Structure 1
């Protein structure tokens, strides 16, 4: 028996409120679509992605997938494109799954395929627990009885030829593949769904999925501290942002004191030494290097350990320049380098009331604290 899967990734994710389509956002150190693909590949012989080829191929690099097929104007058209691409392979069964559903509960796919012995299709579905209201212009007009109502999920499973012919039937208003089979008179079975089988739709879903997919974790806290003296003739780079000032900072690299402290905090939380261990100042390779490279390395070390950054807090210590006007840009830059939401990053400044070397404007100091969640 040959089982294929269609991974539908053609949506723009407009409700998620991000320029990056939701299926390409990162959860537990992998793109959402890759989690979905890996869950399917444990059970199928052929995986057919549908959508924009370039980002899909990048997200699924290294996986044995079929050539990506372009999506259609609707989800139904996208699924049909996937089915037609698979037709020459004539699989017995096909799974249809949303790329924005990264977590497929254990046992779901086995249960779906088992139902195809008796039914043309099967879907996971969870009973509706909340009271349902029909609303018109902000006013309740009806309470809808919830008895017998279920929330349909994916992956959905079908006999391949039956689903292909249903898509070729000319029906164009199906909301999912199960409803298409209903429209042509076929029986579709239901297996138990799960509240954890979330379709990433809104930003709040991302937080919940991170908790589900990360599993049990232990918080690790790290601190970092760094100092650089002012130097003539160099740009002043702080937290990845070039700040207008009459002097820069002396150092082997670009002397970004904020990023250096942040890297040390991350390496400390991971118990992996400090920035000098990973990027020795004695090596010419790092002469005038952009410190963003160091932070990307630290970020990748978190990923390699199966962890995720909960938050980071950087304090810049100096009399001048004024940091506050540049803090939003610094936060955005650090969040981009660390691949986290800006809400997880803090950059602030303080002075030493004209005391010490920073008070005398001889240099800038920075301290950082991070919290990293690592698998237990």
Structure 2
């Protein structure tokens, strides 16, 4: 089989599952590892690889808004396809979207699990090379444990020869038209339960080559997997930094105040160029301070009319993106709201949940407290609300301070 010079290669990222075995309030691909969704890590691996032409995620139809937030500002990301009831149906949907959307279909396609966020650039390069050499090729690992076959009662029937056994990973690599034809044939025959794309090619009578996988290219499946992944993510980021933030807004006309992303009923509102959310403003400054990257006014000047009445979650999300762009993670956020009224306690959990949603930081790493000034000062006179925040982030040691 002849190789194509400079082949076009699209990565299909399968992200339509619900991932219920991983636990948590979100599908596992949208859960955060060190402050960044699993799916974003996976998308970025392929989107920044020089041999990948484009990246197509196949998502659940309920996740359009969530996916848009997750993939924001990444290069080479196509509009997502919607998956089916099975993994096989989801990949087929992605293939058909690529065939319909392009004047010329891609030469090669890699199919990868969204929940494998630790694939290396070298493995992606090996996959592309393997797809040029064969219609189908998959990354594999040799089996090091003894493997037994058991019956329905759990009794050992035989010991298998592990020399001929391999465990299989993704990205699996294919000639585009060969994989599309195999999927179409399987669907026409009513075969819908094949568990990976290599199995689809095998069913269609195609041979499947193998290439070397990676032991670190694990698939996140259980809550324990997610915990270990989060720990490993932080362990690699040894440059620990802390920033602080402070903000004040005066009361004015209104019937609620925005505190930490939550609309809290009150007899007055807060006056500001944006929505005057003192909590989110203080957290934004804390993150920017940890990055040594100015303050909220430098990034969102009040003189700019586009920020008039803006929702402050945009400011905090911008600061979070600054951290992740520099290869960092948010380790901890602490917010203190200072006011005589309204009472913060009844809204504390809602505020923590809102901050978690904006930042991707787990609830266990977000603290929200409230205090008064014992009726002293402007907050004691009920003239406004103040907020203090601190943010702890972790960056790679490779990042050096200027000067």
Normalization by structure 2: what TM-score? 0.70
Q: After TM superposition, give the deviation of residue 103 of structure 1 in Å.
A: 3.7
| 2:170 match | 154
Q: After TM superposition, give the deviation of residue 316 of structure 1 in Å.
A: 1.9
Match for residue 281 of structure 2 among 238, 260, 266: 260
Pairs within 5 Å for 1:141-290: 147-148=162-163, 149-158=165-174, 163=179, 166-167=182-183, 168=185, 170=189, 172-183=192-203, 186-202=206-222, 205=225, 208=229, 211=232, 216=237, 218-228=239-249, 230=251, 235-249=256-270, 253-280=274-301, 290=311
> Helix, strand or coil: the match of 1:107?
helix
Match for residue 34 of structure 1 among 26, 43, 50: 43
Would the alpha carbon gap of residues 257 and 172 (structure 1) be closer, same or farther in structure 2, given more than 3 Å must change?
Answer: closer
Q: Is the 8 A contact 2:333 2:365 kept in 1?
A: yes
- Give the number of equivalent residue pairs: 374
1 CA distance for matches of 2:310 and 2:127? Answer: 54
Q: After TM superposition, give the deviation of residue 245 of structure 1 in Å.
A: 3.4
Match for residue 321 of structure 1 among 329, 336, 342: 342
Q: Is the 8 A contact 1:37 1:99 kept in 2?
A: no
Gaps of 5+ in 2: none
Moved more, 15-24 or 320-329: 15-24
2 CA distance for matches of 1:222 and 1:367? Answer: 11
1 CA distance for matches of 2:284 and 2:262? Answer: 16
> Helix, strand or coil: the match of 2:284?
helix
Would the alpha carbon gap of residues 310 and 128 (structure 1) be closer, same or farther in structure 2, given more than 3 Å must change?
Answer: farther
Would the alpha carbon gap of residues 13 and 201 (structure 1) be closer, same or farther in structure 2, given more than 3 Å must change?
Answer: farther
> Helix, strand or coil: the match of 2:121?
coil
Q: Is the 8 A contact 1:24 1:32 kept in 2?
A: no
Gaps of 5+ in 1: none
Q: Deviations over 1:63-96 (max 9, x none)?
A: 5577866544432234445556659957765433
Q: Is the 8 A contact 2:262 2:354 kept in 1?
A: yes
2:76 is the alignment partner of 1:76:
no
1 CA distance for matches of 2:313 and 2:82? Answer: 36
Pairs within 5 Å for 1:108-119: 108-112=123-127
> Helix, strand or coil: the match of 2:47?
helix
Would the alpha carbon gap of residues 134 and 336 (structure 1) be closer, same or farther in structure 2, given more than 3 Å must change?
Answer: farther
Q: Deviations over 1:27-50 (max 9, x none)?
A: 7587355325426x6335676655
2:351 is the alignment partner of 1:343:
no
Q: Is the 8 A contact 2:47 2:77 kept in 1?
A: no
1 CA distance for matches of 2:81 and 2:239? Answer: 41
2 CA distance for matches of 1:284 and 1:82? Answer: 41
Normalization by structure 1: what TM-score? 0.75
Q: Give the CA RMSD over aligned residues.
A: 4.6
Q: Deviations over 1:150-180 (max 9, x none)?
A: 3311111245565455442645543223234
Q: After TM superposition, give the deviation of residue 105 of structure 1 in Å.
A: 1.9
